[in-house]
Each structure stands twice: as C-alpha cells, then as structure tokens.
Amino acid sequence: MSFRDLRNFTEMMRALGYPRHISMENFCTPNFGLVSEVLLWLVKRYEPQTDIPPDVDTEQDRVFFIKAVAQFMATKAHIKLNTKKLYQADGYAVKELLKITSVLYNAMKTKGMEGSEIVEEDVNKFKFDLGSKIADLKAARQLASEITSKGASLYDLLGMEVELREMRTEAIARPLEINETEKVMRIAIKEILTQVQKTKDLLNNVASDEANLEAKIEKRKLELERNQKRLETLQSVRPCFMDEYEKTEEELQKQYDIYLEKFQNLTYLEQQLEEYHRMEQERFEEAKNTLCLIQNKLKEEEKRLLKSGSNDDSDVDIQEDDESDSELEERRLPKPRTAMEVLMQGRPGKRIVGMMQGGDSDDNVSPPLPSAVLCALGLAVIDGSG
C-alpha cells in the first residue's frame, strides 16, 4: 500500500460518481463493510444486471461474496484479483480495487464523460501510452501470422483425413504380434538404459571436474597470496638507485629550466632580428627612392647647363668655342661631383669611381652605403688596396 495508490483510488471513485465520500484514513484498519460496498458498486457499474448476494454477515457469506466477485471480474473483465488481500479489507485491498476502478475510469475517459480535475502527473499516468503497446502489437501480428499458417496446415490435413482414416482403421484392425512388440520394447529399454548410463557417467565426470576445479582454485589462491606478499615486500623496500634517480631528476629539471629560458631568449632575439631586417629593408628602399630622385634631378640640371652653354657660344669662333666647351665642362662637371659626394656615402678605405669625367680620385671617408645603391647609380666600389 502506498499513499499514491490511496490518492488515485479516492480520486477515481469520486470521478466515477461513488455516492459516499472515501477518505484515506478508511483503510488504516480493516474495514470489510466498506470494501464489500465498493466491490458491489463497481460490479453493478460494470454489469448492472449482475446478481451477487450482498450478505456479508457471517464468515462463509464473506468468503462466498469475495469468490463471486473475483470470479465475475475474471470471466467478464479478465481482471485477476487477489482474494486474500480483498478479504483483509485494509490498505492492501486498495491495490486490488484499483485494478477495477482504473478500467472503469479509462472507459469513462474514452467515452468523453466529465470528471473531476486530477493532478497532471496522475493524468499522464492513466493516459494510453502507444509506445508501451508496440511490443504487444508486434506479438499480436506474429500470433496472427502463426494462426493463419496453422489454419492452412490444419485445412490441408483435414483434406487428407479420408485417406488417413482408412490407413488408421487398417492399422487398428491389424492384430498385434507379440514377438515384434517384445522386440521393440527391448530395444527401447536398451536405449533408455544406455541414456541412463551416459547420464551417470556425466554426473561422475561433473564430480571429478568439480574436484579438479576446486584444486585449481586453491592453487590459484595460494599463488595470489604469495604474489601479494611479494608485492608488499617490493613496495616496502627502497631501491638502491633511488637517491641517484632523484638527484638526476632534480638536475634534469634545472637543465630544463635553463633550456626554457634560453629558448625564450632565442625566440625574442629572432623576433628582434626580423624586426631589424625589416627596418633595414625599409630604409634601403627609402634611400634607393631618394637617390633615384636625386639622379633624375642631376640629369635634368646637366641637360639645362648643356642647353644654356650652347646658346652662349653661338657668337664666337671655333677656337674660342673649343676653349669655352672645355671650360664649360670643367665648370659643369664639378657640380654633380660635389652633389654626388655630399649625397653618396662611401666606405673608409675605398674609393668611388664614376662614369662621368672630371673630379679628383681622393678617398672620402663617410658612413657606409649599400653596394646595391651604388650599382643602381652606375658606380663601382673598389677597395683601397686595389
């Protein structure tokens, strides 16, 4: 008996329209009068034309009443009731009464009858769950197919009944031969004795196998105990190389810390080097662009000077023209030379030889200039020793 069963029973009886109020305290003690009244009302609700004697005064009447109700519910509703629990008329009888009330309650819900409000979990409990009936549906389908096949085979056998009847009649009418019957019985007895002997041998073998297995189990137990003791001794003894192992482990940890620190430093320096190379590349590109601009300006200035010089020498003779050309070249060439020396930075111990004529060849000490820039300007770098 449980509180939930009592609650469900009282709620369902109220929903079914039972005229008397049933509380949960009615079944704390045996109450056969209430149980008999509820059973009689449920039976009348299920089958109004049922005739069950309501007398429950004596012990025999009560036993007869319980048996009649159980038999009726088993034959009509296919509900199996426990008569002993019903006769006790206490909380255990509620479970048996709940079987009948749940059927009537479900029937009332399917017909659309109005009922009292029930807790949501109780409603879910009494709803028809199709998922739980899938297995029953499969079993019913399998049983239906088996019934069909059995019916077909039975129909075929019944069709052969005319021939089999004659053969059966002949076999029955034929007189039995005692010698043949005795021979068959002896053969059957021998086979049975052989089977009995085989069974005895198997039993004897089982006993011997059991003894062997017990001996093996004992042996394994002894080995297990011996190995456990050995394991305990090995765990208690400290290895001789353990101190050296711990010392080596500490040194290894120190070396690993040093390695980790150096690896971090190396990674940082590589990052700085990459940053430096990138800055140098940007600086190189900047210097190259600047030198290209200066070179273009120098070329334009040279063209302008040449153009202005040709206009000034148009009114003089050839000798003066040659002299003026040489003087003009001497005046013109040092200017680009001076500009180149100011902009282009040579290296110590080296000299820069240009493609233009004029100018001195003395070494100029200045900050280093990349050789790629000098090549872009058409200049050559020559060591001072060469």
All structural domains of the chain, each given as residue ranges with its CATH number in brackets, are 3-110 (1.10.418.30)
What is the average pLDDT score of the chain?
76
pLDDT at 362 over 60: no
Greater confidence, 376 or 313? 313
The average pLDDT across 264-288 equals: 95
pLDDT of residue 89: 77
**Tens digit of pLDDT for each residue in 96-154?**
888 888 888 888 777 654 444 444 555 555 455 556 677 788 888 889 989 998 999 88
Instruction: Give the pLDDT band of residue 336 (cuts 50, 70, 90).
Output: very low
Q: What value does the CA radius of gyration of the chain take, rounded to a whole number of Å?
A: 60
Greater confidence, 314 or 166? 166
Q: Is residue 63 a contact partner of residue 36, using CB atoms and an 8 Å limit? A: no
Q: Is residue 31 a contact partner of residue 93, using CB atoms and an 8 Å limit? A: no
268 to each of 84, 258, 262, 277, 318, how far by Cα in Å?
90, 15, 10, 14, 72
- Report residue 73 CA to chain centroid gap: 51
Tell me which of 34-48, 218-232, 323-337 is least confident: 323-337
Angle between helices 161-173 and 134-159 (to 10 degrees): 60
Greater confidence, 264 or 332? 264
Q: Is residue 383 a contact partner of residue 347, using CB atoms and an 8 Å limit? A: no
The pTM score is: 0.30
pLDDT of residue 380: 37
- Portion of the chain with pLDDT greater than 70, in percent: 74
Highest mean pLDDT pick, 200-209, 264-273, 349-358: 264-273
pLDDT of residue 132: 63
Q: Is residue 282 a contact partner of residue 274, using CB atoms and an 8 Å limit? A: no
**Tens digit of pLDDT for each residue in 169-221?**
887 887 777 888 888 899 999 999 999 999 888 888 888 888 889 999 999 99
pLDDT of residue 312: 62
pLDDT of residue 370: 47
Using CB atoms within 10 A of its CB, is residue 81 exposed (0-12), middle (13-18) or buried (19+)? buried
Q: 56: Cβ–Cβ under 8 A, 6 or more apart, which residues?
A: 32, 33, 36, 62, 65
Alpha carbon distance 16, 34 (integer Å): 16
Instruction: Give the pLDDT band of residue 289 (cuts 50, 70, 90).
Output: very high
Q: Is residue 365 a contact partner of residue 385, using CB atoms and an 8 Å limit? A: no
pLDDT at 252 over 90: yes
pLDDT at 349 over 80: no
The average pLDDT across 361-378 equals: 45
Question: Nearest 5°: phi and psi at 19?
Answer: -70, -25
Tokens of 170: 């002949």
**Tens digit of pLDDT for each residue in 3-29?**
777 778 888 888 888 887 777 777 778
pLDDT of residue 103: 84
Instruction: Give the pLDDT band of residue 162 (cuts 50, 70, 90).
Output: confident
